[in-house]
């Protein structure tokens, strides 16, 4: 029985060069994602708190994220008089 790296190599060798490049690009994305720091902040954390969590984010990335949140996200405010769901 072949190991996972051996099976991947076998499949990769059968693919055309452009598909091999796609696999390599994907593998690099997966590798980077697995080494990225994970936030310990719970879902729903306000952006001002998230803004402080940026040890590996560029200022441009933080600004772009803030712009997207401000422009593209709908805000839903709870109705103080109606607590039913």
Q: Burial level of 37, CB count in 10 A (0-12/13-18/19+)?
A: exposed
Residue 68, Cβ neighbours under 10 Å: how many? 10
- Model confidence pLDDT, tens digit, residues 65-85: 778 877 766 666 666 555 555
- Report DSSP state, residue 79: P
Does residue 59 carry a pLDDT above 60?
yes
Distances (CA, A) of 37 to 4, 11, 24, 50, 56: 26, 31, 22, 13, 8
Residue 11 CA to its chain's centroid (Å)? 27
Q: Can you give the pTM of this predicted structure?
A: 0.42
Question: H/E element holding 19?
Answer: helix 17-35
- Model confidence pLDDT, tens digit, residues 2-33: 899 999 999 999 999 999 999 999 998 888 87
């Amino acid at each position: 029985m072949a190991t996972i790296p051996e099976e991947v190599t076998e499949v990769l060798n059968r693919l055309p060069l452009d598909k091999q490049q796609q696999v390599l690009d994907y593998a690099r994305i997966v590798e980077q994602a697995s080494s990225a720091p994970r936030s310990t902040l719970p879902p729903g954390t306000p952006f001002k708190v998230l803004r402080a969590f940026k040890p590996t984010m560029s200022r441009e990335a933080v600004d772009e994220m803030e712009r997207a949140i401000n422009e593209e996200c709908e805000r839903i405010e709870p109705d103080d008089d109606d607590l039913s769901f």
